[in-house]
Amino acid sequence: MRSALEPRSKLPDVGTTIFTVIGQLAAEYDALNLSQGAPNFAPDPELVEAVSAAMRRGHNQYAPMAGVERLREAVAEKIERLYGARYDAGREVTIIASASEGLYAAISALVHSGDEVIYFEPSFDSYAPIVRLQGAKPVAIKLSPQDFRIDWDLVAAAVTPRTRMIIVNTPHNPSATIFDAHDVARLSALVHGTDIVVLSDEVYEHVVFDGAVHQSMARHPALAERSVVVSSFGKTHHVTGWRVGYCLAPAALMAEIRKVHQFMVFAADTPMQHALAEALAQPASYLGLAAFYERKRDLLAGALAQSRFELLPSRGSFFMLARFRGFSDERDSDFVQRLIRDARVATIPLSAFYTDGTDTGVIRLSFSKDDATLVEGARRLCTV
């Protein structure tokens, strides 16, 4: 239908996400999917059955706005056990309809027109658009192109009286780096004595490799008191389509976040919340996740050992970066499309994670796939 109106776009430079574009092209060429950060294997059948059982018990109507009490209490208990921080389940834990919703609710509740928000690129693609929708200014600081670490001196130089929020992401998508003690110390010193809120995207909190410790903002009291932590049940339990996560924050911040959350979705899906509460009662359901994905990381890396790609270290998440400049000077977006057409393997160009399209000759691979897909995908990439 032709519209008689010409809408004034709030995001005139934003089009369809790269994930959709690559997905459509991959489908056209029947390519193996090493691009999407979503498992191609089934979740625990007991978890699926728990959802069905919750439905049969009548949990099919709206949940409480803040989330099912049993699940909020289970989250609070988990956080205290793992990170030593006690959040009040009634006032400081909210069950959200995906981590994406939590990020949106937190930014829109706490960032005002004219504020500035610092974040790090390459980054998850929703951060900057959400900030812009609030009439605020996203301030991108690029990670080192060599090791994708944060230069905290650059961050300190970027802080102004208008800086309201710093968004961090650990483990990091897409670079697979993680925060260490140095990062925590620099961030803590930087925000001390300010009114800066830290928004910490920790959706891969249980996917940290090689014996490293996840540096949650909840673990550090001086940061926890000014931080909003967002995490995802979908990533942890291989159910990304369920769109359920959780948000932690001090009561004063959470009260504002809930004001937005209630008008976005009101409440996350009810039967899933009851099933996830049962899953959290079994710590093995998430404490084994690091070893599970570390094995898949090593499988993919080993299978690509004879390829021409330079693989970068993957410290956490279920992603791995690969440089191709040693054998091709193509733009990464063109290179990725050629991989789909010629090798029939779908990956993501790293330039998609920069607002200015920075091209470093790097692609992102996802190893959240079954072993057969990883082995065959690597075999095809070795022919490039």
**pLDDT higher than 90, residue 18:** no
Query: Would 113 be classed as within a structural domain?
Result: yes
**Residue 310 is part of a domain; what is its CATH number?**
3.90.1150.10
Residues 359 and 233 in one domain: no
Residues 189 and 101 in one domain: yes
Q: Which helix (H) or strand (E) holds 284?
A: helix 284-287
pLDDT at 84: 97
Residue 190 covered by a domain? yes
**Domain closes at, from 282, 311, 338:** 282
Instruction: Please tell me whether residues 251 and 308 are part of one structural domain.
Output: no
Q: How many domains does the chain have?
A: 2
Across the range 331-335, mean pLDDT stands at 95
Dihedral of CA atoms 268, 271, 275, 276 in degrees, nearest 10, equals 0
Q: Parallel, antiparallel, or unpaired: how do β-strands 348-349 and 362-366 relate?
A: antiparallel
Q: What is the dihedral of CA 284, 290, 296, 301, to 10 degrees?
A: -170
Residue 50 lies in a domain: no
Q: What is the pLDDT of residues 199-252, one digit of tens each?
A: 999 999 999 999 999 999 999 999 999 999 999 999 999 999 999 999 999 999
The proportion of the chain whose per-residue pLDDT surpasses 90, expressed as a percent, equals 92
- Separation CA 381–CA 384 (nearest Å): 5
Cα–Cα dist 217/227, whole Å:
7
| 278 and 311 housed in the same domain | no
Residues 121 and 253 in one domain: yes
Position 53 in a domain: no
Indicate the Cα dihedral angle 92, 287, 269, 66, nearest 10°.
-10
What one-character DSSP code corresponds to residue 208?
B
Q: CA 204 to CA 196: how far, in whole Å?
A: 24
User: pLDDT tens, 127-161?
Assistant: 999 999 999 999 999 999 999 999 999 999 999 99
97 in a domain, yes or no? Answer: yes
In a domain, 182, yes or no: yes
Q: Is residue 2 part of a domain?
A: no
Confidence of residue 20 (pLDDT cuts 50, 70, 90): confident
Residue 49 lies in a domain: no
Domain finish residue from 282, 314, 329: 282
Tens-place pLDDT, residues 66-113: 999 999 999 999 999 999 999 999 999 999 999 999 999 999 999 999
Last residue of a domain, one of 237, 259, 282: 282
Say if residue 37 is in the same domain as residue 139: no
Q: Quick: pLDDT tens for 299-316.
A: 999 999 999 999 999 999
> Structural domain of residue 229, as residue ranges?
61-282
CATH classification of the domain holding 237: 3.40.640.10
For residue 381, the one-letter residue type is L
The pLDDT value recorded for residue 308 is 98
First to last CA, the chain: 45
Please tell me the distance from the alpha carbon of residue 378 to that of residue 160, in angstroms, as a whole number.
46
> If you average pLDDT over every residue of the chain, what do you get?
96
Least confident range from 18-22, 237-241, 268-272, 301-305: namely 18-22
Is 372's pLDDT higher than 70?
yes
pLDDT value at residue 8: 86
Residues 250 and 129 in one domain: yes
Domain check: are 304 and 210 in the same one? Answer: no
pLDDT given at position 1:
66
